[in-house]
Structures are given as C-alpha cells and as structure tokens.
Structure 1
Amino acid sequence: MTVNYPEKARWFVEKGIVDYKATIYIHGSIHGNEMAGTDACLDIIRLLAYDNSHEVQNILENAIIIINVCANPDGRIANRRQNDNYFDLNRDFITASQPETRLTIQKVFLEWTPLVTLDFHGYMGPDWVLIEPCTPPHNPNTEFDILIESICIPWLWRWKPPSKQ
C-alpha cells in the first residue's frame, strides 16, 4: 500500500489503524565461494529461533525478516564466485539477466519492498584481504593500527618482503 497509495498509507499510520512492520531482507553467498555469508544467515536463523531475549523478541514483533541463506547455490556447490552461467550475480541487479536475480527482484523487492537489506559476503583464499570502508561513519570497534599491522602490511609484503638490515 505504501508504494501504490502513499497518501492512504500515511493516513492509516497517523490514525493508528495500521500495525506497520518493517521488512528486512538478508542474503548470503551471492558469491558462491564466499562461504561465510551462508554461515552468517544460518547463525541469524538460529538466533531468531532460539534466543528469547528482549532484543530478539522486539525484532520479531516489529519486523518481517526474509532470509535467503544462499543467493548463489550453483556457485557455492562449484566453489566459485559466479553462478552456473559464469555470471557474477552481485553485478546483475541493474540488468537482471540471471534467473536468481530476477526471482529475488520479483519475490522479494517488488512484493515486500524491504526497508533494510543485508548482503553477507566473505573473503576466502590467500590473495584476498578485507578492506575496511574508507568513508565515515567508521566502526568504533575497529582499531586501525592493529588492522594495518596484522593484516594490511603482511598482505603487501607478499610481493616484496622487507629487507633485513
């Protein structure tokens, strides 16, 4: 209703007639070889199913949560970034050329219009490194000096180790 009749929806909300629940869409492993996304989705399902804390119950009472545990099942089985057509699904939401993307757009974005979308990725392999986003707001729990010392510098030294003096 909010998309097709925004004025009517606003009136219902102002009168307290509508019990609005925000839709949250979560998907994992849009890149099949990034296994952590699927694992994170399963952890969230477990948390929502078994955690009786006030915070979790509040989320369940006030939100509709849609979870696609593995957005790229063929890529996951083949342990590769792309889907079965060798297409990177993370680059397909403009053209929607792949069946996985079309179904996600039809069944999630057009039917449920999520307010929030979480896209879980993971970094695998010896040549990959997690790159911290460079624009604010920054995660207050990230200690950049430790991040640089423990991850970034050793990663750069792979090509040219420091000279021993």
Structure 2
Amino acid sequence: MKLRRASVEEAEKILHMQIESFQELLDKYQDYDTNPASEDIDIVKQRLNQNYTYFYIITDNKEEVGAIRVVDKKDGSRKRISPLFILPQYRNKGLAQKALQEVERMHGMKHWQLNTILEEEGNCYLYEKQGYIQDGNRQMINEGMTLVDYIKD
C-alpha cells in the first residue's frame, strides 16, 4: 500500500471513487447532507486547492483503491481525517488501516480527530483498533444514523 498526493486535475477521478465507495451508505441511511457520495466536483476541487489539505490516492499493487484526506492546518489544532474510503472490491484487506498508519507517520502520531457512522460497527472497530477513542460528541443525522466523533492524542 502506498499513498500518492493527489492534484486538482484528479478531482473528477476522486469524486467517482468517492461516489462508488459511499453510495451503499447513502442508499442505506439517506443522509444526503453529510454523505460524500452527494458531493459535487466543485467541493472536491475546493478541498484539493486548500493549502492545509493533503488528499492522497491510496494505491495497492499499482491499482488505485481509494483515497484519504488529511486536514492539517499546522496551527496546533487537531489534524482531521475526512474522508477515508476504499473502493468496495478492495475492502477487507487492511488497506484503510495501513493508510491511517501512513498518514500518522507522515503528519505526526498525535492530535487527530475524525468522525464516522456509529451504526457501522466495522468502521468504529477500525478506528478503535488504531487507538482512536470516542470523545462523547454525537450528532443524530436521522432516526437510523448517528455520527460519532473520535480523537487520538
């Protein structure tokens, strides 16, 4: 597994991978205001152009398998992961875990935050296995979905 920094010219590719990766969750939870599959190309381009955003394409055996975005303002605030996704056909191979480990190696091991869907036990397990803990902040998106915040110090 390797990370390659994405350029703004890859915005459309990232958006297509993001939609493919999150569509199942969008169908399940109908969270049109929060799900990355609902975003448009302008949002992806805006993020790629932010000087404090590091968007990486995740590759495995030269195949593009997903992406991870790190928000690192380098001002003492927590670094944020949003989003992290692996294409469905490449899941359950440890790639998300390796991507998390690599961005922590690159950006520093401490002072992180992210959020995920509480009802998606596999996601929660992944982050907890990597040392993230729930900080108590939860946001109910709808009757079946709650976003939960995680931190790692």
Q: TM-score, normalised by structure 1?
A: 0.27
Q: TM-score, normalised by structure 2?
A: 0.28
Structure with greater strand percent: 2
